[in-house]
Amino acid sequence: MSVFAHHTHDYASDPDAALEAADKYFQSAGVRFTPLRRRVFEIILRAGKPIGAYDILERLRDHGKIAAPISVYRVLDFLIEQRFVHRLATINAYMACVTPEDPHAAQFLICQCCGSVTEISDPVIDKAIAEGARAADFQVSYPLVEIMGICAHCAAEGKTAGDCKKS
Amino acid sequence: MSVFAHHTHDYASDPDAALEAADKYFQSAGVRFTPLRRRVFEIILRAGKPIGAYDILERLRDHGKIAAPISVYRVLDFLIEQRFVHRLATINAYMACVTPEDPHAAQFLICQCCGSVTEISDPVIDKAIAEGARAADFQVSYPLVEIMGICAHCAAEGKTAGDCKKS
DNA sequence: GCGCGAAAGTGATACTATAACAAAAAAGCT
DNA sequence: AGCTTTTTTGTTATAGTATCACTTTCGCGC
């Protein structure tokens, strides 16, 4: 039994369910989930892994939509603010939050080999950071934790950081 | 007594000492600390706060050196690999490590108001991350912790995240 | 001096993100 | 409905960050 068993639904692996949930959430929150915003969120969801802003742009265009980078960035800002999307600063990419309806601090495990990213939400890490910041008299707005390394799958194939960084 | 009391020297506030220490370290390690590398490191040290790659470039040019961005990035890669410099992914900036000779995981407190960055090295945070990653069967290469928020100084002036983000 | 590998130079280019202003669409009000 | 206001999106241009490919120079050991 995984530590993630409490997730009611792994939205990351079920784009349709995630979109439906988003529809409902925004409806009830009185926030406008416009076609463009929905489309961008869908693209991010279906990517199944972190995706760059310009990749999103390209996929929008594949669907006949003419759009400029700024449009994508605006939507990304919106989705991030609404906590439906996370930004990964180290790799300049965006991914869907696995549990948007439950506000939480997230940590990311980024595989240097295959580029896969796993979102975890470890309260111990979160608490340690809150404590550390408090000790330094620092008021946390949001903590960013991006852990670079090798995922279990790649490690099983004998890959190391040295093999992958340069690829 | 501060948790940082074990620091023999706060290199961040003493560029000359830091440079001298670097000279000695690289000498004994048999690694080439070339004039360009030394110059760039000095610029970062004297900045006293995180500095962007193109700012470094500009300062190199101020000193009569004609250089291209790639030169700066190559040196930065070197200095980061040697653990003398940290890269702050969230703000695309670089800063000198306060304790290069002591390998450690660092965490950064980034003030959204004044842009100041404090490097801390909290073993509790580090351990929590190591544990969390292990639980997810993930082999950590290096953990990146960048905590956005408001520093004590700005908080004392009544500033909030809302006031500063847009500036 | 010569050869080798590491480092730096050169010129071009890719990638990421935002600014400034105009047009359109939705929401609220009378 | 007609009007205003606000929000969202479009349009064009540009700023900011980082890397590629290839050449030249430098340091070191023989």
* Element holding B96 (H helix, E strand): strand B93-96
CB contact set of B145 (below 8 Å; sequence gap of 6+): A129, A143, A144, A145, B105, B106, B107, B108, B125, B129
Q: Which nucleotide is nearest to A33 (CA to C1')?
A: D8
Q: Report the sign of the C-alpha dihedral through residues A58, A61, A63, A67, in that order.
A: positive
The two three-digit tokens of residue A84, written as one number: 């439906």
B142 touches chain A (CB under 8 A): yes
Q: Is B107 on the interface with A (CB under 8 A)?
A: yes
Average pLDDT over residues A106-115: 94
Is A156 within 8 Å of chain B by CB? no
What's the whole-number average pLDDT of chain A? 90
Helix, strand, or coil here: A63? coil
The better pLDDT of the pair A65, A155 is held by A155
Cβ–Cβ of B128/A145 closer than 8 Å? no
Asked if residue A67 keeps its beta carbon closer than 7 A to nucleic acid strand D, the reply is yes
Q: Looking at residues A67-81, what average pLDDT do you find?
A: 97
The C1' atom of D13 and the CA atom of B59 lie apart, in whole Å, by 28
Whether the predicted pLDDT of A6 surpasses 60 = no
Of residues A101, A136, A112, the one with CA closest to residue A26: A101
Residues 22-81 of B with CB under 8 A from A: none
d(CA B49, CA B12): 9
Walk across the sheet containing B107-111 and list its strands: A117-120, A107-111, A139-150, B139-150, B107-111, B117-120
Of A118, A84, A80, A81, nearest to A101 by C-alpha is: A84
The pLDDT score that the predictor gives to residue B163 is 66
From the CA of A129 to the C1' of C11: give the distance in Å: 45
Q: How far is CA B22 from CA A76, A139, B56, B79, in A?
A: 42, 34, 19, 11
pLDDT at residue A7 tops 70: no
Structure-block tokens of residue B90: 């969230």
CB distance B141–A132 less than 8 Å?
no
CA distance A51 to chain B (A): 17
pLDDT score at A8: 47
Q: What is the pLDDT of residue A129?
A: 98
* Chain-centre distance for alpha carbon A70: 20
> Which band of pLDDT confidence, cut at 50, 70 and 90, is reported for residue A99?
confident
For the cut 90, the answer to whether the pLDDT of residue A63 exceeds it is no
Return per-residue pLDDT of chain B as tens, 167 residues: 444 444 445 666 789 999 999 999 999 999 999 999 999 999 999 999 999 999 999 999 998 888 999 999 999 999 999 999 999 999 999 999 988 777 788 999 999 989 999 999 999 999 999 999 999 999 999 999 999 999 999 999 887 776 665 43
Residue B6's nearest CA partner among B83, B117, B99 is B99
